[in-house]
Amino acid sequence: MSTTTSSRAATVPRRVAAQARFETLTMLRNGEQLLVAVVLPAMVLAGLVATSFVPLGPGRRVDLAVPGVLALCVISSAFTGVAIQTGFDRRYGVLRLLGASPLGRSGLLAAKAVAVLCVVALQFAVIGGLGLALGWEPQWTGIPAALVSALLGTWAFVALALLLAGTVRAEGVLALANLVWVLLLAMGGVVVASSELPGTLGPIVELLPSGALGDSLRAALLHGQVRVGEWLVMLVWAVAASVLASRLFRWSD
Amino acid sequence: MTDLRKQFGSVVALDGVTWEAEAGRVTAVLGPNGAGKTTMVECCEGLQRPDSGTVRVLGADPWNAPAEHRACVGVMLQDGGLPNAARPVALLRHLSQLYAAPRPVDALAAQLGIDRFAQTTVRRLSGGQRQRVALAAALVGAPDVVFLDEPSAGLDPHARLDVWDLVRSVASEGAAVVLTTHSFEEAERIADEIVIVAEGRVVADGSLAEITSGRSLEHVYFDLTRRSAR
């Protein structure tokens, strides 16, 4: 037997695009994922704008709320969504099957990254649209900085999600990914700025990827500011989690 | 596969295994549970890295083999490896996009009766239906080598015949088919070559006629594996 010379695998872009489309559609068709990715953030936004019992700091509530909810969207899909999906794919041997297919492990990771960015873009369109309908007046000059924040935050949270999904069994991933989502929403500096959090919590939260993401999105979209410190915090989390995930990730359950 | 060894902690899964499979022939690997069949096959698929010895599939080392190699090798895992939320035909169509020249999905699905439950999600399929989708997933890329881990386990008699016909036709088209099984009937019906494994060693290897020399495969198997089965 000898190896064939004509190409048998589809090209890399075709393979990654096919898998990214498949993963995006899987995420969007999954009821629970859609709930966490779009419905709950939209409800949080509407609730924060319509009520005033959660203190958001000085300024118009809708302008303060939208950047925080965009941060929540990133955490929903890049962290909770990816972790749960990957955890169960690992349990059911999907990761092994795709690893043995022409897609391979690197292709699968690339496809997951593309799929998450597609979903985040969709979430931003929905939440941004809802915000504008509720009277949001963003600082348009801050959009490029906000995009950088969103990309860094997505990277950090996807890496953390893979670290969790690749080391803990599926049921544990499900419980932890949802618990972390709730904890970060409540006190992770996501929708409530770290400066508005009670007592000693603020300085700790500033060093979390959630706080850095929320605060830098607020700085960009409220004041058009670039927050290099927050970007560095996210970068450190992203690199550290990526290195750990690449060392510790187990492809089979 | 030459002198392959693999150990998990203190458990020796493969203890110097040597055999080979030829193109155009069906090789059946038999052996008791825990004999090392799945580990052996997973070393061939690049999913496990042997501690020592060599594996060559189509002349290449399957561990970290490039996409081009993986495109020539079809894999059916024992646990299926199918995403739970997917629908069978849509999943096969998706997998076919990973290959430059895949088999036509509709014909493959019809041959295995998958078209009858095309709209049911994998989660809701019966064990036998899932087996058929996993088999189709292994064949959709029109591979030169196919590894099938217990392809007919849990199938009803009709479905088993469909699977056997398909496996025979894949081999007659020139592919090397390696399958693990617990069924003597399956091995006798469709295999050209038999490899019997016990406690991580090959205890018999040859054509069906050579191995049985007039006796039934079942007799030969129990004689060779009695000690390990206890």
Whether B98 sits inside 8 A of A3 (CB atoms) is: no
pLDDT-derived band at A31 (thresholds 50, 70, 90) equals confident
| List of chain A residues whose C-beta atoms are within 8 Å of the C-beta of residue B83 | 26, 89, 92, 94
Task: Confirm or reject contact between B95 and chain A (CB < 8 A).
Answer: yes
Task: Confirm or reject contact between B72 and chain A (CB < 8 A).
Answer: yes
Task: Please report the pLDDT score of residue B227 as a whole number.
Answer: 60
Tell me the domain boundaries of chain A.
Answer: 12-248
A to B CB pairs, distance under 8 Å: 106
Place of tokens 């199938």: B155
Place of tokens 């629970």: A32
Question: If you average pLDDT over each of A31-35, A117-121, B20-24, B80-84, which comes out highest?
Answer: A117-121
- Alpha-carbon distance B91 to nearest alpha carbon in chain A (angstroms): 9
Task: Please report the pLDDT score of residue A211 as a whole number.
Answer: 96
pTM for the whole thing? 0.89
Whether B60 sits inside 8 A of A3 (CB atoms) is: yes
Which has more confidence, B138 or B223?
Answer: B138
Percent of chain B with pLDDT over 70: 98
Whether A15 sits inside 8 A of B67 (CB atoms) is: yes
* Closest chain A CA to residue B70: A102
pLDDT-derived band at A142 (thresholds 50, 70, 90) equals very high
Six-digit token string for B22: 């030829």
Alpha-carbon distance of A135 to A21, in angstroms, equals: 33
* Closest chain A CA to residue B60: A3
Chain A interface disruption, residue of B20, B70, B133, most A CBs within 10 A: B70
Q: Tell me: the pLDDT tens digits for A182-205? A: 999 999 999 999 988 888 898 999
Burial class (CB in 10 A: 0-12, 13-18, 19+), B45: buried
Whether B67 sits inside 8 A of A7 (CB atoms) is: no
Which of A3, A93, A100 lies nearest to residue B80, judging by beta carbons? A93
- Alpha-carbon distance A62 to nearest alpha carbon in chain B (angstroms): 37
Which of B70, B81, B97 lies nearest to residue A94, judging by beta carbons? B81
Chain B interface disruption, residue of A101, A112, A174, A250, most B CBs within 10 A: A101
Whether A8 sits inside 8 A of B141 (CB atoms) is: yes
Q: Is the pLDDT of residue A1 over 60?
A: no
Whether A100 sits inside 8 A of B23 (CB atoms) is: no
Which of B45, B67, B97 lies nearest to residue A18, judging by beta carbons? B97
Domains of chain B: 2-81+143-229 (3.40.50.300)
Residues in CB range of A110: below 8 A, 6 or more apart? A16, A20
Residue among B15, B32, B25 nearest B192 (CA): B25
Residue type, A84: I
Q: Are B146 and B170 in contact (CB under 8 A)?
A: yes
Whether A9 sits inside 8 A of B99 (CB atoms) is: yes
ipTM of the complex: 0.90
Task: Please report the pLDDT score of residue A199 as a whole number.
Answer: 82
Strands B52-54 and B193-198: unpaired
| List of chain B residues whose C-beta atoms are within 8 Å of the C-beta of residue A91 | none
Task: Confirm or reject contact between B23 and chain A (CB < 8 A).
Answer: yes
Task: Confirm or reject contact between B83 and chain A (CB < 8 A).
Answer: yes
Q: Tell me: the pLDDT tens digits for B147-179? A: 999 998 888 998 899 899 999 999 999 999 999
Alpha-carbon distance of B27 to B175, in angstroms, equals: 11
Six-digit token string for B41: 């096959």
Q: Is the pLDDT of residue B230 over 60?
A: no
Q: Is the pLDDT of residue A216 over 60?
A: yes
pLDDT-derived band at A30 (thresholds 50, 70, 90) equals confident
Q: Tell me: the pLDDT tens digits for B175-229? A: 999 999 999 999 999 999 999 999 888 999 999 889 988 888 999 999 888 765 4
Query: Sign of the CA dihedral B34, B38, B44, B45?
Result: negative
